[in-house]
Amino acid sequence: MSTVTFFRGQQLPLEMHKVRIIQKLNLRPIEQRREAMAEAGYNTFLLRNADVFLDMLTDSGVNAMSDQQQAAMLIADDAYAGSATYTRLHAKLVEIFGMEYFLPAHQGRAAEHILAQGLVRPGTVVPMNYHFTTSKAHITNVGAEVVELITKPGLEVTSDHPFKGNLDVAALAELIAERGADAVSYVRIEAGTNLIGGQPISLQNYRETTELCRKHGILTVLDASLLADNLYFIKIREGEAADMSIPEITRAIADCFDVIYFSARKLGFGRGGGICIREEALYKQLRGLVPMFEGFLTYGGMSVREMEAITVGLDETMDFDMIRQGPQFIAHMVNELLKRDIPVITPAGGLGAHVDAMRFLPHVRQQEYPAGALATALYIASGVRGMERGTLSEQRDADGVEPMADMELVRLALPRRVFTLSQVEYAIDRIDWLYQNRDLIGGLHFVEEPEILRFFYGRLEPIGDWANKLVAAFRSDFGDSL
Ligand code: F0G
């Protein structure tokens, strides 16, 4: 492990890699950005990437690969069945997680689909620390209920709790007592709560939650998509782990679970996914779904080149220097925003910086989607694309009632090894300008609202003329500048 991780009084992160391939970016003038936003139905998912300057929508599938990953792609073994590439990936997963069986899938939600089809019984519950959009959609789609048991600090926007992603073990015990263990299809823990600030789970909580499940014979499932950041936080925040290596922490977590699934668009820095399984019987129970929905058992919809890259990416994830870059850049961004009094989720988590739109835009009602409005305004003011993680990302219930999200967040994801610190500083400056001009920003309403996963492709419009007013204010402050 390198010894220097921050410098200048622990203020600035120091990257232990250099950039060897670059891609040119476009920064369009604000009038063009405003037009592009209108064409995209005020939904950042519908923007063309060519119109985006810094793409902080997600880190999914867009982390920078290493030279070793690129090199490995050249030795990929193209075979429908029995590819040596698959054997290498499988062996790496066995080495890291210690589970013998693996089912490949083309990405994380495909793994969720297989788990939901194979393990979730209608009328049962799937308790979890917190839901993710696709995981919930697959579970409810087969007629089961998602029950969220996040501990109280998890829903507090500002906190100094080191593990806000922890599951409330007492609440789980109560639920099991009430409904009976048979009514629980499995317990899912997300290693880092995507929708509420990328907050980590402690090793102790992994152990306590899964011990309780084992006592009741309940299957335990880890969503390891965000595991890399969680490993970093356990290492630096949990006393007992300070002297453990990253592979040791990984194995200590894995040992708690029956099943581990992941999106390799995040974990492994490639594009793919899959399900690691401890017991042969369970593997055999799920196996048939892979050729039906994904592809043969030795690729599951992934390209062999990506599988090679994932194998190396998983190995690199066991390197502290590699996994600290993301959370340290995020911590820098969060600290700089806090210095400017901009409301953000604290403590800094994984995945990205999460701006609290509810406090940023207190004058915009939740029904008018403050997080969606702020993401729109940020793109217009800066060309930075963030993601709404609030009420827009929720789904109407069976009676058509729109649930209000627990939090209204704009997530500014920092794909690993992609942006420089000066680009992060640019984003901070423009968020600061928006904060000074926040009174100008109004709400949004739907003009086209899809029934399922509406946030992906729904179209909206500003309520009133605020987008034009924002452009005018920008021109008056910045002159001809972009
Ligand atoms: N689970 C978690 C915790 C995720 O963050 C994601 C994806 C998935 C499952 C689904 O994986 O995209 O490969 O199908 N999160 C992405 C994001 C989309 O932007 O946060 P996938």
- Residue 266 is a catalytic residue: yes
133 part of the active site? yes
Average pLDDT over residues 273-284: 98
How far away, in angstroms, is 286 Cα from ligand 1 center? 21
Average pLDDT over residues 175-201: 97
- The pLDDT mean for the chain works out to 96
pLDDT for residue 2 is more than 80: no
Q: Per the structure block, which two tokens stand in for 401? A: 């009632």
Q: Is the pLDDT at 149 greater than 50, yes or no? A: yes
Query: Which of 175-179, 214-218, 298-302, 449-453 comes out lowest in average pLDDT?
Result: 449-453
Could you confirm whether 293 is annotated as catalytic?
no
The number of helix segments (H) and strand segments (E) in the chain equals 19, 16
Domain range summary for the chain, segments of one domain joined by +: 3-59+321-478, 67-319
Atom nearest to 109 CA in ligand 1: 14
Give me the catalytic one of 271, 389, 411, 454.
389
Q: Give the Å distance between the CA of 47 and the centre of ligand 1.
A: 19
Q: How far apart are CA 128 and CA 149, in angstroms?
A: 6
Q: Is the CB of 311 under 6 A from ligand 1?
A: no
Neighbouring C-beta atoms of residue 14, cutoff 10 Å: 15
Would you state the CATH architecture of domain 67-319? 3-Layer(aba) Sandwich (3.40)
At residue 388, the pLDDT reads: 96
The pLDDT assigned to 1 comes to 46
**Mean pLDDT, residues 151-173:** 97
- pLDDT computed for residue 7 by the predictor: 75
The tens digit of pLDDT for each residue in 430-469 reads: 999 999 999 999 999 999 999 888 999 999 999 999 999 9
Say if residues 197 and 413 touch (Cβ distance below 8 Å). no
What is the 109 CA–ligand 1 centroid distance (Å)?
7
pLDDT at residue number 4: 55
pLDDT for residue 197 is more than 80: yes
Question: Is there an atom of ligand 1 within 6 Å of 198 CB?
Answer: no
d(CA 373, CA 276): 39
Task: Measure 364 CA to ligand 1 centroid, in angstroms.
Answer: 28
Rounded to 5 degrees, what angle do the CA atoms 12, 15, 18 make? 140
CATH of domain 3-59+321-478: 3.90.1150.10
pLDDT (0 to 100) of residue 452: 84
User: How would DSSP label each residue in 55-81?
Assistant: E-S--TTTSPPPHHHHHHHTT----SS
For ligand 1, whether the C-beta of 225 sits within 6 Å is: yes
CB distance 132 to ligand 1 below 6 Å: yes
Contact indicator for 13, 322 with CB cutoff of 8 Å: no
End-to-end CA distance of the chain: 41
| Closest CA to ligand 1's atom 18 | 60
481 pLDDT band, cuts 50/70/90, is: confident
- Predicted TM-score (pTM) of this structure: 0.95
Q: Looking at residues 390-413, what average pLDDT do you find?
A: 93
CA of 351 to the centre of ligand 1 (A): 11
Q: Do you find a cis peptide bond into 122, omega within 30 degrees of 0?
A: no
For the Cβ of 263 lying below 6 angstroms from any atom of ligand 1, the answer is: yes
Supply the pLDDT for residue 3.
46
- If one residue of 136, 194, 275 were mutated to test the ligand 1 pocket, choosing by the most ligand atoms within 8 A of its CB, it would be 194
58-110 pLDDT per residue, tens: 999 999 999 999 999 999 999 999 999 999 999 999 999 999 999 999 999 99
- When computed from its CA atoms, the radius of gyration of the chain, rounded to whole angstroms, is 22
